[in-house]
Amino acid sequence: MDQIKIGKFIAKCRKEKNLTQSQLAEKLNITDRAISKWENAKSMPDSSIMIELCELLDITVNELLLGERIGKEKYFEQAENNLIELQKYIENQNKLQINLSYIFRITSLIVDFVFAFIILFGTIDTLSEIILIITFAIVSFICLFTSSHIELLIGYYQCNKCGNKYIPNKDFFSFSMQIGSKRYLKCPKCHKKSWNNKVLTK
């Protein structure tokens, strides 16, 4: 999917309809900043808004995703290509988010080390030590919670015993052991505990 082409296409169709960014935004009940972001290829319209946007611009969702008008004879061929492209786009976005969750996790580890170092080897009074420990606990918790939350939103875990792909239970997930992209989880299908691999697609 070519975001730059899509952005230019949105701008072109909007101008053909004699609409300013703010007028289009108003019709869609969103901010004109969002329109500007689409047109500058910084983001894509949400799925919830795509149909309404296409109706306003007098184009099909297919044409929107391709970034140009399609003749009737090419329509179905292009529809299939667009579906594949869309799936690739989603997979890439998922990879980005997973990497983000690892960054949070690594940040939390670094924070742990720095704090442990200060508490063990620094010459600080008891009050400072208590403040440090509390701050340390909060920062670590936020990092771990955020990264777990992102991970839970994306993809599945695959059971090492039976191959079942599933989304783990949220509470259990937060407290499970983790090494890299593997987690020690109990499979809901075969009920066996094993190191489960993170997979992005089912």
Among 54, 59, 159, 185, which residue sits at the site for Zn ion (rule: CB under 5 A)?
A: 159
Q: Are 55 and 62 in contact (CB under 8 A)?
A: no
Q: Give the shortest CB-158-to-Zn ion separation in angstroms.
A: 9
**Residue ranges of the alpha helices (H) in the chain?**
3-16, 21-28, 32-39, 47-57, 61-66, 75-121, 126-153, 170-174
Q: Give the shortest CB-191-to-Zn ion separation in angstroms.
A: 7
d(CA 50, CA 31): 15
> Based on CB atoms, which residue is closest to Zn ion, 96 or 162?
162
> Based on CB atoms, which residue is closest to Zn ion, 15 or 189?
189
Q: Is 190 in the site for Zn ion (CB under 5 A)?
A: yes
Q: Is 164 in the site for Zn ion (CB under 5 A)?
A: yes
Q: Give the shortest CB-177-to-Zn ion separation in angstroms.
A: 17
Q: Give the shortest CB-192-to-Zn ion separation in angstroms.
A: 6
Q: Give the shortest CB-202-to-Zn ion separation in angstroms.
A: 15
Q: Are 195 and 179 in contact (CB under 8 A)?
A: yes
d(CA 90, CA 47): 12
> Based on CB atoms, which residue is closest to Zn ion, 27 or 198?
198
Residue 183 DSSP SS3: strand
Segment interacting with Zn ion, rule: CB under 5 A, options 40-48, 56-64, 125-133, 180-188: 180-188
Q: Give the shortest CB-159-to-Zn ion separation in angstroms.
A: 3
Segment interacting with Zn ion, rule: CB under 5 A, options 27-35, 52-60, 125-133, 189-197: 189-197
Please, what is the Cα angle at 127 between 111 and 131, to 5 degrees?
A: 30
d(CA 169, CA 179): 18
d(CA 69, CA 100): 36
Tokens 């109990």: give the residue. Answer: 186
Q: What are phi and psi of 34, to 5 degrees?
A: -65, -45
Q: Is 162 in the site for Zn ion (CB under 5 A)?
A: yes
> Based on CB atoms, which residue is closest to Zn ion, 117 or 184?
184
Q: Can you give the binding site for Zn ion, defined by CB under 5 A?
A: 159, 161-162, 164, 187, 189-190
